[in-house]
């Protein structure tokens, strides 16, 4: 059974092609005799009961090091990096789920003890979870680009990214100019609808919805290639508001998202 492993605290997809080992034989086999673990892959071990020893793991007969996360009720209670072959490891705390990932995933994603990590099981559920997260992250990046463009052009407008719905609200005197420009650049990859947002000074806003996250991400990378590495895997930000009058300098302090790292290049992920 396929699963996606998502660090919800960092807004990072740790694996989108993980296998679930929920039987004795599957857990026993684990990653033994496997030649490698590609980025985006992983193994989720589900022992029969919660505990330290029941979640202990070994790397006998393995050919490569791995990163390991121990989860208890969705929280990371222990994390091991670069666990080499022919080792045995017992977690420091009781756990109920173990996630094995390619070496380097923990450091690149910034995953740490205390983070909330969700395992989404099922082929369709895993695919949808990754697509939804990717679309929200690409939309967040698009909101940053639009905000900076408004500030540079001297237009009067506000941009608000709604992290709950994953949509962009555009308001202000020049909102139709801004939205028409977005439509010219991104075409049918985005959709514009009429909406409302109490977070903006003008309650009436135009809502930009990303329909094709992969295409939007590709266009954004072409305009700002230096941002490619941080485009898809970014920390999910709090909702922010940018209000820019004519001639005002951009106040970017509250709108920057921290890098969340990632275990795969953006163009390999679904939707981004």
Q: Is 178 found in the same domain as 99?
A: no
3 state SS of 188 = helix
Q: Which domain holds residue 106?
A: 2-121
* Predicted local distance difference test score (pLDDT) of residue 202: 66
Q: Is 113 found in the same domain as 9?
A: yes
The number of distinct structural domains making up the chain is 2
Decide which of 58, 92, 121 is a domain's last residue: 121
Spatial separation of the C-alpha atoms in residues 59 and 83, rounded to whole Å: 8
Tokens representing 50? 């919660």
82 in Cβ contact with 92 (< 8 Å) = no
The answer to whether the Cα torsion of 31, 260, 6, 118 is positive or negative is positive
181 CB-contact burial (10 Å; exposed 0-12 / middle 13-18 / buried 19+): middle
Q: Is 146 found in the same domain as 60?
A: no
3 state SS of 88 = strand
φ/ψ bin of 94: left (φ > 0), alpha (ψ from -120 to 50), beta (otherwise):
beta
Decide which of 86, 121, 156 is a domain's last residue: 121
Spatial separation of the C-alpha atoms in residues 215 and 100, rounded to whole Å: 31
Listed in sequence order, the DSSP H helices in 72-212 are 105-109, 123-153, 175-186
Is residue 55, in this structure, part of any structural domain at all?
yes
96 CB-contact burial (10 Å; exposed 0-12 / middle 13-18 / buried 19+): middle
* Predicted local distance difference test score (pLDDT) of residue 120: 92
Q: Is 262 found in the same domain as 142?
A: yes
* Predicted local distance difference test score (pLDDT) of residue 38: 87
Q: Is 68 found in the same domain as 25?
A: yes
Cα 204 to the center of its chain, rounded Å:
30
Spatial separation of the C-alpha atoms in residues 233 and 265, rounded to whole Å: 9
* Predicted local distance difference test score (pLDDT) of residue 235: 37
pLDDT tens sequence for the chain (272 residues): 789 999 988 888 899 889 998 888 778 777 777 788 888 899 999 999 999 999 999 898 888 999 999 999 999 999 999 999 999 999 999 999 999 999 999 999 999 999 999 999 888 888 888 888 888 888 988 998 898 888 888 888 889 988 778 899 998 889 999 999 999 999 999 999 988 777 677 678 899 999 888 899 889 888 765 443 333 333 333 344 444 443 444 444 433 333 333 333 334 334 43
Tokens representing 60? 């006998």
Tell me the pairing of strands 57-58 and 88-89.
Answer: antiparallel
Q: Is 141 found in the same domain as 101?
A: no
2 in Cβ contact with 129 (< 8 Å) = no
Q: Is 234 found in the same domain as 213?
A: yes
Is residue 198, in this structure, part of any structural domain at all?
yes
CATH code for the domain of 58: 2.60.120.1140
Tokens representing 248? 């005002």
Is residue 57, in this structure, part of any structural domain at all?
yes
Is residue 192, in this structure, part of any structural domain at all?
yes
Tokens representing 74? 């969705």
Spatial separation of the C-alpha atoms in residues 76 and 99, rounded to whole Å: 10
The candidate with the shortest Cα–Cα distance to 170, out of 139, 147, 138, 141, is: 147
* Predicted local distance difference test score (pLDDT) of residue 224: 61
* Predicted local distance difference test score (pLDDT) of residue 223: 73
Spatial separation of the C-alpha atoms in residues 91 and 52, rounded to whole Å: 6
The candidate with the shortest Cα–Cα distance to 48, out of 18, 19, 26, 77, is: 26
Q: Is 185 found in the same domain as 105?
A: no
* Predicted local distance difference test score (pLDDT) of residue 114: 96
């Amino acid at each position: 059974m396929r699963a996606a492993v998502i660090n919800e605290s960092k807004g990072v997809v740790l694996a989108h092609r993980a296998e679930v080992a929920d039987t004795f034989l599957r857990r026993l086999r684990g990653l033994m005799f496997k030649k490698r673990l590609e980025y985006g892959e992983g193994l989720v071990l589900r022992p029969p009961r919660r505990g330290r020893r029941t979640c202990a793991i070994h790397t006998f007969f393995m050919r490569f090091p791995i990163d390991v996360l121990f989860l208890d009720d969705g929280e990371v209670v222990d994390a091991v990096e670069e666990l080499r072959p022919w080792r045995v490891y017992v977690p420091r705390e009781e756990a109920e789920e173990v996630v094995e990932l390619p070496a380097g995933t923990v450091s690149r994603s910034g995953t740490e003890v205390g983070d909330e990590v969700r395992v989404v099981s099922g082929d369709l559920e895993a695919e949808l979870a990754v697509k939804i997260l990717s679309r929200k992250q690409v939309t967040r990046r698009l909101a940053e680009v639009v905000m900076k463009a408004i500030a540079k052009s001297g237009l009067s407008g506000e941009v608000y990214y709604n992290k709950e719905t994953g949509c962009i609200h555009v308001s202000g005197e020049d909102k139709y100019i801004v939205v028409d420009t977005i439509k010219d650049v991104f075409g049918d990859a985005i959709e514009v609808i009429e909406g409302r947002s109490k977070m903006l000074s003008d309650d009436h806003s135009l809502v930009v919805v990303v329909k094709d996250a992969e295409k939007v991400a590709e266009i954004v990378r072409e305009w700002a290639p230096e941002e490619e590495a941080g485009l898809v895997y970014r920390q999910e930000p709090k909702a922010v508001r940018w209000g820019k009058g004519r001639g005002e300098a951009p106040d970017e302090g509250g709108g920057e998202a921290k890098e969340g790292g990632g275990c795969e290049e953006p163009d390999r992920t679904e939707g981004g």
